[in-house]
Structure 1
Amino acid sequence: MRKNENVIKEIDSFQTIPFRLNDIFTIPIFIFIGTVILIILNPEEKSEQTYYQLYYIFILPLIILMTLFLTLGRIFIRWHNLKSLKYILTNQRILFIDRQFNNVVKAFELNEIEIDFTENSSNNGYIIIKVPEPKEYVDSLEIASLFFTKRTRGIPLFENKNIMYNISSVRLVFKKIIETQKNIA
């Protein structure tokens, strides 16, 4: 902790497997895509013996592993992060702290971030921390936006690392973070 930095709140998170709404869509989609690829690449009876060997030794396990990672692996990564991290709100930063070693894994300056939250019916949810991109990077995106649609569309292949999962009373925690951000300015 820095000088003049005080802990305002240790943010509680409950330790269940963190499913998100997009998992309802991504898991069946990735299983379907993996199955289609397996069917397309399946060797015919008249294929050479070397293709059979290549298919069953290399292609089949690779596609199965990739499908498992894109479905269950994503959930396991979220669950592991949830089990290994605790979140602390200070008067200057949001800290992601390793539960086992008690060291700071990530720190976000409150005056440099934008936050949003998603809440489910039981008042629990997750808080998304967005660090704005540098101006030079944003300027280069203006040219790209002439040819491509919005960058955030589609199914993300990798998990966002700046999310606080399974937060109890997420709306109250969100309001507390916003209030702390306003006190800095």
Structure 2
Amino acid sequence: MAKKVALIMGSDSDFPVLKACVTKLKSFGVEVEVHVMSAHRTPELACAFASRARDNGFGVIIAAAGKAAHLAGVLAAHTTLPVIGIPIKSSTLDGLDALLATVQMPSGIPVATVAIDGAENAAILALQILGVTDESIAEKLLDMKQDMVQKVVAKDDKLQSQLYDL
């Protein structure tokens, strides 16, 4: 049975950044559930979700939060599933506060952290994790990477043509 991905955001104001994550996961045919939960305002709800995630068919949890971005760590503390953190750029410190809060985890509670506002890379990392046991996802990832190569080669060819004409 195909595993789902959970995308948990600390605030609904994060959703414009996270649309790219949802879009990428859906483009691979992966079911994604999206929820708003707060490490600080709804800690019981977040902990309960994480502790039941494996039994509910999830394979990866992605957590996105800004400012005091403890959401990914709180979720990771309550599950054995891989957790990917997306630090969200907020009105203060350009997301550096969220990056540090997400990446600085104690031993035993790992959180894979992508770049500030790195929603698409979080989706790709989740797909790579699922692709370890799902060959169809692995094949789609390979196709995506080959497409990236072709695009870069085409851009280089175009550049070389422009340089030749100088």
Asked if Structure 1 and Structure 2 have the same fold, meaning a TM-score greater than 0.5 normalized by the shorter chain, the answer is no
Q: Which has the higher contact order (CA 8 A, sep 6+)?
A: 1
More strand per residue: 1
TM-score, scaled relative to structure 2: 0.24
TM-score, scaled relative to structure 1: 0.22
More helix per residue: 2
